[in-house]
Chain A
């Protein structure tokens, strides 16, 4: 019996309810670091609202658990798998690759991490040819860069790859005319595409 068959909706329901109850208790304890009292004389303590909101959350999860024990909720009677094996592979790989992506962004910077993320993801899930995947994985970060850094002037994290971008910034904010910049933009998108296209032809 595989793992995905063992995790039934029933088991997931009770496990999640217990985890949420524990989280609510943790929130209550954390809120109690501030004053949680409130009466007519003194103002509301900073911990008052978070404390009672998380108490409410705890009560709701306890009700969910009671409904589960009494078999009142549809999930408490459901013995089907929480997720089927094929979908589990999709979800697990997606989540792991996203976590690796965000880890990599902190170190490598977003643009290079995106190249690896897209290349891996498309290679793993789609049946596209390598030339397509390469073009896609290179042009998407370039477009992201142009959109965020050039149009919106929002710097995205660059990690250790930052020095590589200095010449690009020099060009962007240098005294070049609009036309030169536009030609540059078009070339940055077209060149990698053309390169990949040509190499894929030769390799064949």
Chain B
């Protein structure tokens, strides 16, 4: 019952006029960002975080969560209309959304996407409300060793489940961690890695510099290369009759909604996974379980609902470990977590007792944001189509202006802007060669926290690493650590398993 009280408080917090205005504004920006090809929630949140420094943390998180949320809805718009995913999270939406648009049923696809998003969002936020408080209670008993073990597990999931080239993934994690050690050592106070004695390195590298570099500049370069500044759009007729018919078509998609909502939520919780794999998995499973699985790919509403449901559900799911454990569940929540530190909060279970307004304001706002985004999404479809006609050559410089000002504003030094350009360019080149960039962003955010937890644990244990592996002494830390080790060595067994399996087949 206590939860219900907190939740009502949270909903009222998010309905205060200032928060509500930011929420609606955030939803709109999110829809816009999601709809633009090449920009997704992570880009929107990374570029916009510097402007949240002057508002209270609760309003800031409500705004950014609304952007995150809106982007999950918006991604479908360009997937359907342009055949280009608006964000990586909407890749699976193209599979059936685009064929529907080609058949002239774009409105059905867009409505299915919006309603699917709404269902996924609502189911997941209810699951979130149920799971978060007990998980936070368990996490309250965590000390430095458990925290460090959790962070190791977060890194290990990228290696075990990320699916990218293993040495490249580990490289990405390590470079993020190494970048996070730049600046003053927190225990000895000695300066570390001050390249060419440039004083700008003394205050360390703000995670935002890397995040805006990679997700702002790098992403724009990537999209400029892909689209060469131009886009092609399919036709759409909007009238209420179409919307009504689209709602009728949704009756057959209940199974897709169930799969998307529940699968999305639990995949979203895993640190390496996030919304993109959730939506792909949800599409795949729905297709396999469907009676008419052969029609998938030719334009069925269920093929749009399944991934859209899952990506919204996963985005809420990925906030669960962020709030309760202080471990982000997706690149976007990694940036939100970094934001929480900048706003002066300590991410982790203590938030539930020390900052209930912040936590419950966020949870409450998810309920409200869900409703508003659905309404705005369907009502503003014509407006978004106009936005999609903006050539990339005009949008790109605007994003660059936002990146440069956003990179400068937090520390007010041009040094950071130069670094941001460097990271943007390097990130673009590395991404072209299949180096995953998300682990680097996650690890530069978690780096300082992980180092603190590691060194505190080692002080507790008089310098023995055994503290992380002793099941009788620290059972939770040890179990998490062993899971992490399994995840780390899992890719090594992949080829072996495949080879054995192949031999059996040929034999």
Name which residue of chain A comes closest to B172, CB basis: A60
Interchain CB contact under 8 A, B174 and A157 = no
Q: Is residue B170 within 8 Å, beta carbon to beta carbon, of the partner chain? A: yes
State the CA gap A46–B405 with chains docked (Å).
Answer: 33
Interchain CB contact under 8 A, B225 and A83 = yes
| Given contact pairs A49-B181, A102-B421, A157-B414, A118 touches B401 in the complex (Cβ within 8 A) | yes
Interchain CB contact under 8 A, B168 and A64 = yes
> Could you tell me the dominant secondary structure of chain B's interface residues?
helix
List which B190-248 residues lie within 8 A (CB) of chain A.
190, 192-193, 195, 217, 220-221, 224-225, 228-229
Name which residue of chain B comes closest to A27, CB basis: B178
Interchain CB contact under 8 A, B174 and A49 = no
In the complex, how many angstroms separate the beta carbon of B304 from the nearest chain A beta carbon?
Answer: 31
In the complex, how many angstroms separate the beta carbon of A105 from the nearest chain B beta carbon?
Answer: 7
State the CA gap A73–B434 with chains docked (Å).
Answer: 10
Name which residue of chain A comes closest to B459, CB basis: A43
List which B448-485 residues lie within 8 A (CB) of chain A.
451, 455, 458-459, 462-464
Among B187, B224, B397, B463, residue most surrounded by chain A Cβ atoms (within 10 Å): B397
Interchain CB contact under 8 A, A153 and B54 = yes
- Chain A residues whose C-beta falls within 8 Å of the C-beta of B174 in the assembled complex: 53-54, 56-57, 60
| Size of the chain B interface, CB-CB below 8 angstroms | 59
Interchain CB contact under 8 A, A95 and B221 = yes
List which B396-432 residues lie within 8 A (CB) of chain A.
396-398, 400-401, 404-405, 408-409, 412, 414, 417-418, 421, 425, 428-430, 432
State the CA gap A140–B401 with chains docked (Å).
Answer: 9
State the CA gap A141–B185 with chains docked (Å).
Answer: 39
State the CA gap A53–B170 with chains docked (Å).
Answer: 10
Name which residue of chain B comes closest to A113, CB basis: B404
**Interface locus among A120-128, A177-185, A186-194:** A120-128
- Chain A residues whose C-beta falls within 8 Å of the C-beta of B432 in the assembled complex: 12, 82-83
Q: Is residue B163 within 8 Å, beta carbon to beta carbon, of the partner chain? A: no
| Size of the chain A interface, CB-CB below 8 angstroms | 67
Interchain CB contact under 8 A, A50 and B193 = yes
Name which residue of chain A comes closest to B166, CB basis: A63
State the CA gap A128–B394 with chains docked (Å).
Answer: 9
Interchain CB contact under 8 A, B224 and A46 = no
State the CA gap A87–B432 with chains docked (Å).
Answer: 13
- Nearest first, the 7 A-B pairs at minimum CB distance are A125-B393, A60-B171, A63-B167, A46-B185, A40-B463, A46-B190, A126-B393
- Contacts beyond the supplied A64-B171, A67-B167, A74-B434: 14 A-B pairs with Cβ under 8 Å: A44-B187, A50-B182, A53-B181, A61-B167, A67-B165, A75-B433, A82-B432, A90-B228, A90-B229, A91-B224, A101-B400, A102-B421, A105-B417, A144-B405
- Chain A contacts to B: CB under 8 angstroms: 9, 12-13, 16, 20, 27, 30-31, 34, 38-41, 43-47, 49-50, 53-54, 56-57, 60-61, 63-64, 67, 73-75, 82-83, 86-87, 90-91, 94-95, 98-99, 101-102, 105-106, 110, 114, 117-118, 121-122, 125-126, 128, 136, 140, 144, 147-148, 151-157
Q: Sample 18 A-B pairs with CB under 8 A, ordered by A number.
A: A12-B429, A34-B185, A43-B188, A43-B459, A44-B187, A46-B187, A46-B190, A75-B433, A87-B228, A90-B225, A95-B221, A101-B404, A117-B397, A126-B391, A148-B405, A154-B53, A156-B408, A157-B414
